[in-house]
């Protein structure tokens, strides 16, 4: 079994992106900048109101492993699609990147998940997600030999809704730790934190998760505070190894129980779409981490990857990131 740098586990979703005026968000009752779960009827209604759209395979953890591979890493992915057209699109896209993806598709209903992403002129994205087949992901979809072969197993907080997925993630953590590997998670969204605060904290404090990625809003929500410093300090105390908190254009903070350090972002003059910025930062950071690079060096790779992705529409790099001069110099 060949080794992998990172295995990611997440909701296997096909993204449908369209540029949208601000007033349309208000008219449709969409919460700007947030991810909202919707049922099939709402998904169909929103799709009908979208303008010209681009369809591509997505999902937070899938975006991260795609970014990691684009940076020259070796990646694997677990996630559930259905045996339908969108499922075929997702599987083809992720396998074409050289990512190991062998999760057995679901026959019948529900169909493959899809996320309608409304991108406003300021580059902000507002997401309405129908989870579909994702909710059927469970322990039966875990490949123990892949977990054992991955330096880091990383999962998204978005996946914490279905009970079977929770069981699968806990089993993955046990397998990873039994083989001396690391586990990581992203808190995904403040709404995830508000729903599962106690469970997320237990994952950290029990040692199931070694590394946590969060943005500022998620870190504050986790500890129900508006004080960023307090949130970062408490997160660093709860996570066994490392906490990484992104601050958008202000860079990031990397912290552990011994201390913390801030690292800058890369300036971007023209933001096209912020979709995937956090996912690509995590990809860059993990690329450095799994190569044994310093935290500062890893944060720089993450910052460059995030800066590149927000200059384009969509969360998948159109040119291999490892071929870009500024990133190639860091690898």
Least trusted range by pLDDT, from 19-28, 62-71, 239-248: 19-28
Q: How confident is the model at residue 51 (pLDDT cuts 50, 70, 90)?
A: confident
Per residue in 11-24, pLDDT (tens digit) is 999 988 899 999 99
pTM for the model stands at: 0.90
| Mean pLDDT of the region 243-249 | 96
* Token representation of residue 43: 């998904």
Residue 291 pLDDT exceeds 90: yes
Q: How far lies 31's CA from each of 26, 157, 159, 216, in Å?
A: 8, 19, 21, 18
Per residue in 103-139, pLDDT (tens digit) is 999 998 899 999 999 989 988 889 899 999 999 999 9
Residue 217 pLDDT exceeds 90: yes
Q: Tally Cβ neighbours within 10 Å of residue 323.
A: 11
> How would DSSP label each residue in 99-140?
-B--PPPBPSSS--EEEEEEE-TTS-EEEEEE-GGGGG--GG
Cross-sheet strand order for the sheet of 242-246: 75-78, 4-9, 150-156, 182-186, 211-215, 242-246, 252-256, 259-263
| Mean pLDDT of the region 157-171 | 92
* Token representation of residue 228: 């960023």
Spatial separation of the C-alpha atoms in residues 272 and 321, rounded to whole Å = 17
Question: What pLDDT shows up at residue 33?
Answer: 87
Residue 1 pLDDT exceeds 60: no
* Token representation of residue 284: 């860059």
Domains in the chain: ranges and CATH? 4-328 (3.40.1190.20)
Spatial separation of the C-alpha atoms in residues 192 and 159, rounded to whole Å = 9
Q: Tally Cβ neighbours within 10 Å of residue 51.
A: 10
Spatial separation of the C-alpha atoms in residues 126 and 53, rounded to whole Å = 14
Task: Please give the helix or strand (H or E) that residue 212 lies within, else none.
Answer: strand 211-215
Question: What pLDDT shows up at residue 46?
Answer: 93
């Amino acid at each position: 079994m060949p080794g992998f740098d990172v295995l990611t586990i997440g909701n296997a979703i096909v993204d449908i992106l369209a540029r949208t005026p601000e007033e349309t968000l208000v008219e449709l009752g969409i919460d700007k900048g947030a991810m909202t779960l919707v049922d099939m009827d709402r998904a169909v209604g929103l799709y009908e109101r979208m303008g010209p759209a681009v369809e591509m395979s997505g999902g937070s953890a899938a975006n991260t492993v795609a970014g990691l591979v684009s940076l020259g890493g070796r990646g694997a992915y677990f996630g559930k699609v259905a045996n339908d057209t969108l499922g075929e699109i997702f599987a083809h896209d992720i396998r074409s990147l050289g990512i190991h993806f062998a999760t057995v598709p679901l026959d019948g209903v529900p169909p493959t998940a899809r996320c309608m992403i409304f991108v406003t002129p300021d580059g902000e994205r507002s997401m309405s997600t129908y989870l579909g087949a994702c909710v059927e992901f469970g322990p039966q979809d875990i490949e123990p030999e892949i977990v054992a072969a991955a330096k880091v197993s990383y999962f998204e907080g978005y996946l914490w809704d279905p009970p079977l997925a929770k069981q699968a993630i806990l089993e993955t953590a046990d397998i990873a730790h039994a083989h001396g590997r690391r586990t990581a998670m992203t808190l995904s969204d403040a709404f995830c934190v508000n729903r599962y605060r106690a469970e997320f904290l237990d994952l950290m404090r029990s040692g199931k998760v070694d590394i946590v990625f969060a943005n500022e809003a998620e870190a504050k929500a986790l500890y129900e505070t508006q004080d960023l410093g307090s949130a970062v300090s408490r997160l660093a105390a709860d996570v066994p190894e490392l906490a990484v908190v992104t601050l958008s254009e202000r860079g990031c903070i990397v912290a552990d129980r011994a201390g913390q350090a801030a690292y800058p972002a890369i300036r971007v003059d023209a933001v096209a779409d912020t979709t995937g910025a956090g996912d690509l930062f995590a990809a860059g950071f993990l690329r450095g981490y799994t190569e044994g690079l310093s935290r500062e060096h890893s944060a720089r790779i993450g910052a460059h990857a995030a800066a590149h992705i927000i200059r384009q529409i969509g969360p998948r790099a159109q040119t291999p990131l490892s071929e870009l001069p500024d990133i190639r110099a860091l690898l």
